[in-house]
Amino acid sequence: MSALKLHTLKQKLWAIVAASFVARVIMFFSLPNTPSSLAPDEGTYADLAKWVSESKPANDFPIFGDGLYLSSRSLIIPASAFIKFGMNELDAVRMTSSLYGLLAMCAMAYLSSKLLPSIHAGVGRKKKNEYFIVTLLLIYGFLPSHFVWSNLGLRESPNEFWLITAFTGVFLLYKEGQSKKLSLSVLICISIICTFGSRPQVGWVLVVTLLLYSLFKLRNKLTYLLITSIFVGLFVGYVATTSFVEVTSDVYVAKNSTTISIDASRLCDATNTKVEYEGETYKCVKSGTVTKRERELNLAEEAIDQVEVIPGKQIINQVGAASMIQRLACPWDESSEIGKYSCLVFRAPYLTLTFLFRPLPFIDTTSMSSTFAAAENMLWIFMFALIVYRISKVSRVPFLKELAPALIFFSLYVVGAGSYEGNMGTAFRHKSLILWFPLLLLFALFWHKLSQTKELRGNNSQESAV
């Protein structure tokens, strides 16, 4: 029986991962053969995966064209591979999502095992710290909504896995004694690309986060390796997720009575009937048309567009929502650009809190699923109440430097998502992406408390001995 006991932290963490694997197998075979009512979108992803597995052009897909494929490749490509091996399309996207969810559990267990040894300052408090992180990992793995979303055929699991992997790579890159710096920079780059391939908006937030973080680390030579990884990941992620448009234009030639001039032809367009070149007069004659594939936006325009579409997207996301997020009346005129973004800032606190803590019981509940969501949100409120309480009690937060990139991302994400979301149901689902951060922050804050308690007991014992 002693062989079955879990003695070390790693054994306990990997036992939770194993339990997650068993639970996912049971969940996979328990799901209905039709798209879940909780996430009807998985039917769309399943159809897209089948479409791609049959080598049909993504831009001919009846729903959203190639835009959906380009922004969900991290899910669709593995799922289409499962379909080619004989799995039906709905099971394929669910299997892919569940595997990503299991990998995210592994990433969290690995990150915890690497983070904890660096902060243990004594054997006495070690057990309490381990029990706390084990409890938080159990919450992360088996919180009902988070567990369900990570098993349905949606983009939440791949998005979360690649995000956690990116931050794990950054943590290890700056960790003392770590020799595989180049490999970690490649991992960070791949994680950024794949985050774009699971939800481009999150990819942009991740890139901005890492660039902001790198500004505080410029004295460290490793930061320039990180910045290189960021820009390569950004460029490839942008190229891989940007749609093309077909542009057809007329082709003209410039001719006079005897010759056709190639150089003069470059001066011809639809507005010119004649052109002058090197003292000769040429007549512009249409010779045909040419069709080219061009990107809709360049990299700078895409970055600006991600910000500009936020106010309009929230209105679009409100359409047909049973749990629509109401917009506060703005005291300024929104017809101008300045007024539009001033109102965005004005609404940000309310919308951020709405994103984090609603639906609320008896206030926002419109169905059985929203009732469960409201009940679970009480846990979120409790977690953040504990965080605020502990921050008010401690002089500094332990291993805050290690959590700094995730803290920046969390802050940008909740403000951006709050301004973007139009209904509470979708917002509740997208919130599962950031569950891991408040749990790690809670551990940091309460590890400090356990340390103080243990140190106080030690000091009292020494005073008694004297």
Cα(166)–Cα(184) distance, integer angstroms? 9
pLDDT in tens, 247-284: 777 888 888 877 888 877 888 887 778 888 887 888 88
**Start-to-end C-alpha separation, the chain:** 44
pLDDT in tens, 278-296: 878 888 888 887 777 666 6
pLDDT at 462 over 50: no
Residue type, 42: E
**pLDDT at position 337:** 75
In 6-108 the beta strands, taken as DSSP E runs, fall at none
Answer yes or no: are the C-beta atoms of 111 and 171 closer than 8 Å. Answer: yes
Tokens standing for 192?
């950024």
The pTM of the full predicted model, rounded to 2 decimals, is: 0.84
pLDDT in tens, 152-168: 999 999 999 999 999 99
Give me the residue label for tokens 């005129």: 333
**pLDDT at position 321:** 60
In 310-466 the beta strands, taken as DSSP E runs, fall at none
Q: Name beta bridge partners: 292.
A: 247
Between 457 and 7, name the one with better pLDDT: 7
Confidence band for 206, pLDDT divided at 50, 70 and 90? very high
DSSP string for residues in 162-205: HHHHHHHHHHHHTSTT---HHHHHHHHHHHHHHHHTT-HHHHHH
Q: What percent of the chain has pLDDT over 90?
A: 45
pLDDT in tens, 91-110: 999 999 999 999 999 999 98
pLDDT in tens, 305-317: 666 666 666 666 6
Cα(385)–Cα(429) distance, integer angstroms? 21
**pLDDT at position 407:** 94
Let me know if 282 is exposed, middle or buried by CB neighbors in 10 A (0-12, 13-18, 19+).
buried
Give me the residue label for tokens 């970055």: 303
Residue type, 362: F
Helix (H) or strand (E) holding 95: helix 89-115
Mean pLDDT, to the nearest integer, of 19-33? Answer: 96
pLDDT at 12 over 70: yes
Cβ neighbour number for residue 311 with a 10 Å cutoff: 17
Between 465 and 116, name the one with better pLDDT: 116
Between 226 and 64, name the one with better pLDDT: 226
Q: What is the mean pLDDT of the chain?
A: 84
pLDDT in tens, 343-392: 888 988 998 999 999 889 988 887 888 889 999 999 999 999 999 998 88
pLDDT in tens, 207-262: 999 999 999 999 999 999 999 999 999 999 988 887 666 677 788 888 887 788 88
Could you give the count of Cα atoms lying within 13 Å of 425 in the half-sphere of its Cβ? 20
CA angle 9, 10, 14 (to 5 degrees): 120
**pLDDT at position 102:** 97
Helices 310-318 and 337-357 pack at an angle, to 10 degrees, of 50
Answer yes or no: are the C-beta atoms of 283 and 256 closer than 8 Å. Answer: yes
Rg over CA atoms, the chain? 27
pLDDT at 14 over 80: yes
**pLDDT at position 301:** 66
